[in-house]
Structure 1
Amino acid sequence: MRVVVTRPEPSARRTADRLERLGHHPVLLPVSRAVHHPETARDALRKPHAALALTSAEAGRVLSSLGDQLAPYLEETLYAVGDATAKAAAAAGFRNIRTGTGTGAELAKLIASHTASLAAPLLYLAGKPRSPGFEEGLRARNLPFVTAEIYEMSPVAHDGNAIRAALLDPKADAVLLYSRKNAQLFFDLSAPHAEALAATLMLCLSDNVANAVPDEFHRNIKIAGHPDEDGLFALL
């Protein structure tokens, strides 16, 4: 299958390599790029907090960039939304990682199950934009937290000819969509070719992502049974 990979680098290249090993033809069309703010992470870590929480591997990569400045915090409890985020946290050097099942709402439940109260706020090291599920879950359980936005996703501009070539030369069989914002950016870019993509599968990481798919593609939607890349690949 010819599969369009919309996630940002460096994750896009790892996904493409994996697709190739499975016999597919990946086409890289990243619709956003991560802009890191390590100074925000450093300043947030220096303030009192009871534990750390990450809902993306990108946040783990920001922390890795702090190098030796991260050393005083590596023994702290870190809650990771899923396996990919946990791996990024481990790569940054964290050793006490508790891993959720893949959604922010479930991560909030996990944290609540480990502590009835917090002596200091949980530090949520987040990106922008992000799904509200994790923060809503913490509020519902009266768990104090502070959010530090340590990276943001910036749209990537693509030449119209490059977009056409990626989607139609030859026609894409499937598109991998990883987040609601990721999906919105993809459909903004691909709007001139909507009619030609009428039969292309839209493979979505979750229901929330699928909700961002325009009505004309709803018959093409497939939703991962588990909100991670393994779940997406199972749809191919």
Structure 2
Amino acid sequence: MRVLVLRPQPSASRTAGRLAALGHETALLPLSRAEHHVDAVRAALAGPHASIAITSAEMARLLGGLGDERTPHLSTTVFAVGQASADAMRDIGFSTVLHADGYGENLARLIAAHARENGRTTAPLLYLAGNPRAPGFESRLQEANIPFRTVESYRMVPLALSRAETMAALLQPVPDAVLLYSRESARAFFALAPFSEMPGRFDTTRMLCMSPNVAAAVPERFAEQAAIAAAPDEESLLALL
């Protein structure tokens, strides 16, 4: 099966490796790259905070690049949105990492439950966030009266793809399946020229979505070809293959 991977690097290459091990052919078409706001993160870590929250493994890549600067913070409790982001934080040295099931709303519930069990602190939770992001996590924290500070730590910047790159990835040959990890990447993907110029070429391509939120960005024409992972993680997404 030929599978199209839209993730940014270096995640795209790791996913390609997993697909190759499963016997699939892969095509890579990253639609964005992460632009890290390192100075903002340094300043945020220097300020008062009781714990750290992350909703993407991209934060582990940013923090990993700080080297010894992160050492004083490695004992700080980290709340991660899912297993993959939690593992990434452990890999760079954080010792106390709690994680939810991949959904931001459930991460907020985990944090609220932890506060009830362990007592609230006067220092805020430091949310090291990306842009764009869904509002659910911050909304649930507000509803639970959890004091927090959001610091935009990285931004996903769209890549300017040439027509040749796009046509090669989508038409030579047409992929059997596309992995859609985020609503933003799904929107960008379906805005590519081949979908407006020759949509019929993709009538048998499976649109594999990480979550219902991602699936909502699939155009109605392709809705019957969409499938949603049982859980919002890559293992569940690949299981759809």
2: CA distance, partners of 1:73 / 1:85: 17
Match of 1:177 in 2: 180
Evaluate the alpha carbon distance shift between residue 51 and residue 168 of structure 1 in structure 2; reply closer, same or farther with a 3 A threshold.
same
Match of 2:154 in 1: 151
Greater CA drift, 64-73 or 11-20 = 64-73
Spell out structure 1 runs of 4+ moving beyond 4 A: none
Tell me the matched-pair count. Answer: 236
TM-aligned CA deviation for residue 193 of structure 1? 3.9
Evaluate the alpha carbon distance shift between residue 36 and residue 193 of structure 1 in structure 2; reply closer, same or farther with a 3 A threshold.
farther
Match of 1:197 in 2: 202
Normalising by structure 2, report the TM-score.
0.95
Asked if 1:122 corresponds to 2:125, the answer is yes
Instruction: Structure 2: give runs of 5+ residues left out of the alignment.
Output: none
Asked if 1:160 corresponds to 2:163, the answer is yes
TM-aligned CA deviation for residue 39 of structure 1? 1.0
TM-aligned CA deviation for residue 139 of structure 1? 1.0
1: CA distance, partners of 2:88 / 2:162: 32
Secondary structure class of the residue paired with 1:115: helix
Normalising by structure 1, report the TM-score.
0.97
1:71-86 matches, within 5 Å, as: 71-86=71-86
Q: Sequence identity of aligned pairs in percent?
A: 52
TM-aligned CA deviation for residue 182 of structure 1? 1.0
1: CA distance, partners of 2:233 / 2:69: 30
2: CA distance, partners of 1:171 / 1:143: 48
Amino acid at match of 2:89: A
Q: Does structure 2 conserve the Cα–Cα contact (< 8 Å) formed by 1:118 and 1:143?
A: no
Amino acid at match of 2:142: R
Instruction: Structure 1: give runs of 5+ residues left out of the alignment.
Output: none
Q: Does structure 2 conserve the Cα–Cα contact (< 8 Å) formed by 1:164 and 1:193?
A: no
Give CA-to-partner distance per residue, 1:12-57, whole Å, 9 cap, x none: 0000010000000010001111111111111011111110001100
Match of 1:55 in 2: 55
Amino acid at match of 1:24: H
Match of 1:136 in 2: 139
Greater CA drift, 154-163 or 43-52 = 154-163
Amino acid at match of 2:171: L
> How much is the aligned-residue C-alpha RMSD, in angstroms?
1.0
Evaluate the alpha carbon distance shift between residue 196 and residue 126 of structure 1 in structure 2; reply closer, same or farther with a 3 A threshold.
same
Match of 1:188 in 2: 191
1:221-232 matches, within 5 Å, as: 221-232=226-237
TM-aligned CA deviation for residue 91 of structure 1? 2.0
2: CA distance, partners of 1:77 / 1:202: 37
Secondary structure class of the residue paired with 2:191: helix
2: CA distance, partners of 1:218 / 1:71: 47
Give CA-to-partner distance per residue, 1:163-222, whole Å, 9 cap, x none: 111111111100000011111111112433422112211100000001111111111110
Amino acid at match of 1:179: S
Give CA-to-partner distance per residue, 1:137-179, whole Å, 9 cap, x none: 1111111110111110011111112211111111110000001
